Amino acid sequence: MSYQEEYRRSLDNPEGFWRDKAGALAWYKQPETILATDENGVARWFVDGELNTCYLALDVHVEQGRGEQTALIYDSPVTSTQRRYTYAELRDEVAVFAGALAQLGVGRGDRVLIYMPMVPEAAIAMLACARLGAVHSVVFGGFAPGELKVRIDDAEPVVIVSASCGVEVGRVIPYKPLLDAAIELAQHKPGHCIILQREQAQADLLPGRDLSWSEAVAGATGVDCVPVLATDPLYILYTSGTTGAPKGIVRDNGGHAVALHYSMKAIYDIDPGDVFWAASDVGWVVGHSYIVYGPLIAGCTTVLYEGKPVKTPDAGAFWRVIAEYGVKAIFSAPTAFRAIRKEDPAGKLPGKYDLSGLKTLFLAGERLDPPTYEWLRELFRRPVVDHWWQTETGWAIAANMMGIEAVPTKPGSASYPVPGYDVRILDAEGNELPAGEQGAIAIKLPLPPGCFPTIWRDHERFVSGYLEQFPGYYVSGDGGYFDEDGYLFVMGRTDDVINVAGHRLSTGELEEVVGSHPAVAECAVIGIVDSLRGQIPVALVCLKDGVETPASTVEAEVVQLVRDTTGAVACLRQTLVVGRLPKTRSGKILRGILHKIADGEPYRAPSTIDDPVVLDELTELMRQRGVGCFAPDGG
């Protein structure tokens, strides 16, 4: 079946389409009601079906005779550790840890908060919760106590699972003091904490509340999977950058399993036994969907990597992992490949490794800028697939469907909408726009399986944040357009549009031009307040390693490049070469913070920031260069 046939069927007969996809999974009770509306008026999938996500991820493969196949590969260059788990071994460890949780009172519907580094025990804890029908909430390891506290109070976990420390390049981060401080601040107090003691730093345990991982499993026996309804929650994931009241995205069991199983073949062209690597973290949605659940439900081998794309030990780290384990497809964020390109702009390091098994590179998490796309395409001569999705959806909204019908890629485009997603481009009044015109990207309801049905304990926020603006649609918060061939171009958040003397300019388009300069490794364009024009753009650029051209020359050349490409209307007259840009740990550039610094507005450094010091560095640089509010006339 062609992509167009598959896509049209998913929209014309969604119940029949998703009934067929659900039939590929092992349900305890096959769903008869495929689509229904819940008490909040939200579409829900497979409402009367019963299943268990852990059973689908582990037990079913063992029962089918593939227990000796490798399920998970742990690779940790920061601790010089490598470990493999077969499906049978992983099932047994998960079953025992589930037994340990059960002994501490965890049951169906209870919450367990997981505050862990990228170690196998993090995935084991997630799967153990799923085995019991409990709801896990993974919080990125190393979050500050204040941010962890609000998640504890919102989720109200029975048990918290953590580790003594996280390990990064050149440093060890003790987790237990952060956890203890968060619990001290929280109104809700968990009954117990299970702490994985790592050799890099041992944690002090509080008698009566804390026990070590080894102690917890020593007295436990394995337990079977607990059947749950398809609509029962599997996890809560708090969105990155949350400030104030947390926003917990809820994922159900049934739709999630069906969607991820379908996506592994349809989007990523991954078959049982293939090796798939999502180079992300279990604290993000990518880690949930494509380190843990998607690959294991599909019966392939997943890689869990505790390291960075560079400096572990060099910019060849990704290529070493791909070669060593025979990775068929890698999925990472554009920022990871920009970091690699910055340190190895000539692309010499991949030549040291046998990458013949690598078929496709998938990128998501932020817009894939054309210069990075072209660098990867020229270097590897393999499909480079930009696909677009969100924490809220849990899987791709638009992609090149490599397992159905691969189409020619277009730089800057996420290709076509994925089957199940009825994507429209709307103007400010909610009218659909023709090809070539930019607007708000919205999805006509109902959303397909796998997407969130609500926000944890705050359904009003779900409605006001996503459904109210355009009734009958989910509003993505991103802007973009379809071209004449039906390719979707996602240009960035709708608030990343600046108004220069009445002309609306996309910062994404300007970044595309700036990033095409041969010396630029990555960049961010922001709009700052201007008394004459309303706003004007400023470009912040990081240079590739080894560039010898003076920064002042590059800055002048970038300004001229934008003028030559976009015209004088862009009014980009100032470029700053910076050492680094502020990012979240998942690699997204914090453009909103940059706006506030330049406009002299108060801001709060989000808990997800990779290194808060960079904000002070940029503030001082803008002050020295007279940018924005630091200009003599106040901008």
Domain boundary among 480, 505, 523: 480
Q: Is the pLDDT of residue 494 over 70?
A: no
pTM: 0.85
pLDDT band at 527 (very low <50, low <70, confident <90, very high): confident
**Residue 451 within any structural domain of the chain:** yes
Q: For residue 595, what is the domain's CATH number? A: 3.30.300.30
Same domain (yes/no): 506, 463: no
What pLDDT does residue 367 have? 76
Q: Is residue 331 part of a domain?
A: no
What span, in angstroms and rounded, lies between the C-alpha atoms of 83 and 201?
20
pLDDT tens-digit map of 215-247 = 999 989 999 999 999 999 999 999 854 344 678
Contact 118, 278 (CB under 8 A): no
Residues 58, 90 contacting (CB under 8 angstroms): yes
Q: Do 111 and 253 share a structural domain?
A: yes
Element (H, E) at 123: helix 120-132
Residues 261, 259: Cα–Cα separation, whole Å:
6
Indicate the average pLDDT of the chain. 92
Residue 36 and residue 112 share a domain: yes
Q: Are residues 48 and 164 in the same domain?
A: yes
Give domain status of residue 352, yes or no: no
pLDDT computed for residue 319 by the predictor: 98
Domain boundary (480, 510, 537) is at: 480
- Does 135 lie in the same domain as 57? yes
CA 454 to chain centre: 19
In a domain, 572, yes or no: yes
Whether 473 is covered by a domain: the verdict is yes
For residue 607, being part of any structural domain is answered with yes
Please, are residues 281 and 140 in contact by the beta-carbon 8 Å criterion? yes
Q: Residue 499: pLDDT above 80?
A: no
How many domains, in total, are found in the chain? 2
Shared-domain flag, residues 399 and 281: yes
pLDDT on residue 531 = 61
Percent of the chain with pLDDT over 90: 74
pLDDT at 241: 41
Q: What is the pLDDT of residue 600?
A: 83
Residue type, 393: T
Residue 533's CB: how many other CB atoms inside 10 A?
15
Say if 381 falls within a structural domain: no
For residue 532, name the pLDDT band (cuts at 50, 70, 90): low
DSSP 401-469: -TTT------TT---EEPTT-EEEEE-TTSPBPPTT--EEEEEESSPPTTS---BTT-HHHHHHHHTSS
β 301-305/70-76 pair status: parallel
Query: How do residues 134-183 score in pLDDT, each as one tens digit?
Result: 999 999 887 788 889 999 999 999 999 999 999 998 899 999 999 999 99
Range of the domain at 78: 3-307+387-480
Q: What mean pLDDT is predicted for residues 53-62?
A: 98
Regarding whether 546 and 409 lie in a shared domain, the answer is no
CATH for 412? 3.40.50.12780
pLDDT at residue 586, rounded to an integer: 64
Residues 302-329 have a mean pLDDT of: 97
DSSP 59: I
- Which range has the worst mean pLDDT, 134-143, 341-350, 522-531? 522-531
Does 326 reside within a domain?
no
One domain, residues 146 and 18: yes
Question: Does 337 or 147 have the greater pLDDT score?
Answer: 337
Residues 452 and 515 in one domain: no
* 122 & 240 share domain: yes
Could you give the percent of the chain with pLDDT greater than 70?
Answer: 95
In the predicted model, is pLDDT for residue 614 greater than 90?
no
Distances (CA, A) of 340 to 107, 127, 260, 375: 44, 32, 29, 11
> Where is the domain boundary, 453, 480, 507?
480
Can you point out the beta strands (E) in 501-614? 503-506, 520-530, 534-543, 575-577
Q: Does 476 share its domain with 541?
A: no
Determine the average pLDDT of the residues in 65-73: 98
Residues 96-113 have a mean pLDDT of: 98
The answer to whether residues 459 and 431 belong to one domain is yes
pLDDT of residue 569: 63
